[in-house]
Amino acid sequence: MIEELTAEILAAEKKAYGKVIRMMAHEVNNTIGPVNSILASTLQATALWQQSNQLPYQNALQVAFDRNNNLNIFMRNFADVVRLPAPKKSTIDLNQLVRAVIVLMEIKAGEKQVRFIDHLAAIPIYISGDEQQLEQVLINIVKNALESIEGRGEIIFTSPPLKKG
């Protein structure tokens, strides 16, 4: 009986935390949206920035705009964590999944002049997991890598060393 009550209390706490996190994300995003709209409009007002002494202010506004965007993304991702459904586990070829993500993200990489290099094993590497959730994780990792590369670059995908025997 204590185990059942403990499980119910934990489930209720998780649900409450999830609701609070979603509400916080909603409020943050509702605030950031209009602020970034004003910042973007100001940054695009070229008449404001014609004098060279205005450059520090323009740069400061751009930094504020970028930080707001990062906070918005962080809060959205944070809220998504509490929305994850229970995993639907199956046997997955990890190399095949990674290659599918490579194909999916190649256009985005090309736009940023980033090249993907595939050093994945030719043989399958089977794992147990939720294919959709793992795919989303891999997409997020690749997106983060693309965002962190300035100019041309490479993202190399390698398989772990396989044990023999």
Tell me the domain boundaries of the chain.
2-81, 89-158
Tell me the mean pLDDT in the region 108-125.
93
Cα–Cα dist 94/30, whole Å: 38
> What is the reported pTM?
0.53
Q: Which CATH class is domain 89-158?
A: alpha beta
Give the angle 139-105-63 at the CA atoms, nearest 5°.
75
* Inter-residue contact 164 to 121 (CB < 8 Å): no
Report pLDDT digits (tens) over 56-112: 899 999 999 999 888 888 888 877 776 667 789 999 999 999 999 999 999 889 989
Beta-strand pair 153-158/114-119: parallel
* Residue reference for tokens 């649900």: 15
Cα–Cα dist 18/11, whole Å: 10
Cα–Cα dist 145/102, whole Å: 12
A 10 A CB-CB count for 110 gives: 11
At residue 129, the pLDDT reads 94
At residue 61, the pLDDT reads 92
Helices (H), the chain: 2-44, 55-81, 94-111, 131-148
pLDDT > 70 in the chain, percent: 95
A 10 A CB-CB count for 39 gives: 18
